[in-house]
Amino acid sequence: MKAFWNERYSQDEYVYGIKPNEYVKQQIKKIKPGTIFFPAEGEGRNAVYAAQLGWVVSAFDQSESAKDKAMKLAHVKKVVLDYQIHDILELDAYKNDSFDAIALVFVHLPQEIRIPFHKRLIELLKPGGTLIIEAFRQEQLEKTSGGPKLKELLMTREMLETDFSNLTIVELVEIETHLDEGAYHVGDASVIRLTGIKS
């Protein structure tokens, strides 16, 4: 998968655009800026936006091409990012109870990786910290606006309720929306959105 993402992100244009995800934008504006973590952040659109709001931003991706573009965007926008390169489960560099917020945007993983990854994210949140997720639902298979083409990689309400059962769920909604996020997320989409608080 690393080769796939390096190839995709090596294009000159920002393939998912440079504007933040709308749900992330909506939710982090409600929170006093502190420390925020963007796993599998790609080209940096969400991380750079958060930094512009005054957040101290950490992010990672497995793709070197993604990091290069994220750092270019950060330079243009005159913000600082701590952006690392490593695989999805290599999170030992981050300490438990480190982040006031974590935002996970369209990160789709097989179950054997997703469950321990989601568990680790909860550990990294500070007590009282906020988790924000937007992902494609299984109904997205019928649409051409982005996302994986394997049903088992797409999210359901039950998956998120189970994975994050020890958070206080503020919002968990399944909606139809319209995406306009670069070349690969365009059109009507079936998504699920979660905001939860760690006790």
pLDDT of residue 1: 85
The parts of the chain modelled with pLDDT lower than 70 are: none
- The CATH number of the domain holding residue 133 is 3.40.50.150
Q: Which has the closest alpha carbon to 194: 131, 124, 101, 148?
A: 131
**To the nearest whole number, what is the mean pLDDT of the chain?**
97
**Which residue bears the tokens 């909604």?**
173
pLDDT of residue 66: 98
CA–CA distance, 194 with 170 (Å, rounded to integer) = 8
Q: Which has the closest alpha carbon to 129: 22, 63, 33, 1?
A: 33
Show the domain range for 128.
2-198
| Domain count for the chain | 1
Q: Which has the closest alpha carbon to 186: 50, 61, 9, 17?
A: 17
| Residue 108 burial by Cβ neighbours in a 10 Å radius (0-12, 13-18, 19+) | middle
pLDDT of residue 103: 98
